[in-house]
Structure 1
Amino acid sequence: MSRHNNNNSREVKVCPLCISDLSASEYDFYPCPCGYQICSFCFERIISEFTKCCPLCRRPYDEDAVSRVGPQYRPVPVVRPPPEKKPEPSGFIISKKMVQIVGIPQRYLQTSLLIRRDYLGQYGVIKKIAIYSNEKIPFRKQILQGNSSVYVKFKSQYEANLCILSLNNFNLKGEQINASYALTEECSEALQNKNCSEKKTCLKVHKKNTPTKIQFTTEEVERKADRFINALRIDVPDHYQNYPKRSFGTSLFPPPRIIPPPNGNPHFLITNIFNSEDPTLLDLASFPDAIPLPLPVSQSRQLCSLIDGLGLDQR
C-alpha cells in the first residue's frame, strides 16, 4: 500500500497489516520473493508468533531476510511486448462481381426480401448479400454515399453488370437509386495466411490475382485517378434502351434487358438471363441465336409464324 506525501516527492509506503508508514530503512524491505511488502515489526511477529509464512502467497519466510534490507526481492515490472500489429490492406480493390446499391427505401432493406427472384435475384445468382448503415460499413471507403448500402456479390461479372445497368439512376417511388461496382479490400485474416472465420458472409477479398478484381492505391482512390474512374465504367451496348426487357413477373425493380449473345453463342442468354425459365416467344423471335433447341413442335410452329410476321431472319 502507498500514498503520496505532499512534503516529499518520495512515495509513502504503508504496511498492509498494521497500516503504519514504512520507515526509511524499511522502504526497500521485501521479505518474500512474491513482492509482498510489510514492516519489520510485523515481520518479526509473524516469524516469532505465527506461521512464519508470507500472508499473501503462504511461502515460508527466510528468518534472515530482515538483515538483508534492500531491493533483493523487489518485484521487477514485467515489460510486455506490444501486441502484434495486424497487417493492413495496402490499397483498395474494385470487385466486378460485387455491386453497391444506395437509395433503396428503408422498408425494403431486408436480405431475405432483396435476394428473391422478383427483387435483386432477377439479375443473376446471388452468392452473398449484406446491408450496412453508413457508420457500420466494413470498408474504409465507398464509391457511393447514402444512409444505408446494400452490397450484392453475384456469381459473374455479367450479372453484376445487368444489375448496375438496370438500377443505376432508377427512381423508385420518389427515391433515387444508384448502383456501382463495389470498392472492397483484402481481408486482414487472409493477409496473415489464415482462414477467414466469417468467409461465408465476409465481402472482402480472400484470393489474389483474379481477373474480376482490380487493385488501386489509396492515393488513386482519393484523387479519383483516370485509371480508377475507367475501371468503374461499364460498356453499355449500342441501342441498349431499345432491347426488350425480360420480366419474371411483378417486380419492385426494373427487369433486366435481354442482351444479344456475344459471338452468336446461344447458351449465353439461356444461362444468364432466362435462368432455366422458358423465354417468351417474343424473346426467342427477337434473338434467334438464343433459341434453345429442341423446341416442342407446337411452340416451334408458333415461333416460325411469329418470326415471319416480324420479318426476322431465322437463320
Structure 2
Amino acid sequence: MSKQTEYYSEEEEFQCPLCMEEMDLSDRNFRPCPCGYQICRFCWHHIQENLNGLCPACRRVYSEQTIEFKPISAEELARIKNEKKQREREKKELEAMNRKHLSNMRVVQKNLVYVIGLSPKIANEEILRSHDYFGQYGKIAKIVVNRRNPPASTVPSTPPPQPSVGVYITYVRKEDAARAIAAVDGSNSDGKVLRASYGTTKYCTYYLRSMVCQNPNCMYLHEPGEEADSYTKEDLASV
C-alpha cells in the first residue's frame, strides 16, 4: 500500500495547514513544492498572486516546473468515498450502541413540575395557565393533564375517594419551576393537600438511534442528561 493510500485510510480529514479547510479529493495529490509540503490550490494561488511566492515550509520559490499533480483515478475516487461512508456508518453504529442503555433511563427535568391532588374542576389548560394558578410563577411552555382514576374502595362503608388529576407543567425557566414547587407542595386546594415535585422525562427515540428528531416541538431529551439527575425506571419505581 502506498503512503498516499495509507493516509486516505486514516479517519481524520485531510486539511490544508494554512486555511484549515478540508482539501477536496483533487487537492490531495497536489504538491506545489519539491519539499513535499502540501497546501490547497486556493492557498497556493494566493501565495503566488498576493504574497511572496515562497513555500511556507522551506521558503523555496514556487515554480510551475516543480509542481507534482496526479489526478485521482475513478477507482481510487470510488474507494475513498466508500471508505468514508464505511467510517460514517461505523460511527453511527457505535453511537447507537452507546446510547442503547439510555432507553431505560429517566432524567429529572429542572424546568418540569409534576403536581398531584388537583380537582378535576380546574383540569383545564387555560385555567391552569392563568395567573391565579401556575402562570403566576413564570412563563409556561407546555401543560399536560394526567387524569388519575382512584382505586376502588375495599370497604363498602367508606366514602369513595374524591377524583383528582395530576398535571405536568413545563416552564421556560428552571428558576420558575423551583418557585412553583416551593409554593405549591404541601398547600391546600379544594380541601386536598397538593404535592409538587420535579418531573422526569425520557430520551427521544430519534436521539437513541443517532438520528435528527423530526418533531420541532418534541419535549424529550436530545442530549445527555446530568448523571446526578438520571435514574432507571426501576430506581424510580422503588422510591
Range into which the TM-score falls when normalised by the shorter chain: 0.3 to 0.5
- Compare relative contact order (CA 8 Å, sep 6+) and give the higher one, 1 or 2: 2
Structure number, greater radius of gyration: 1
Which structure features the higher share of strand residues?
2
TM-score normalised to structure 2 length = 0.46
TM-score normalised to structure 1 length = 0.36
Which structure features the higher share of helix residues?
2
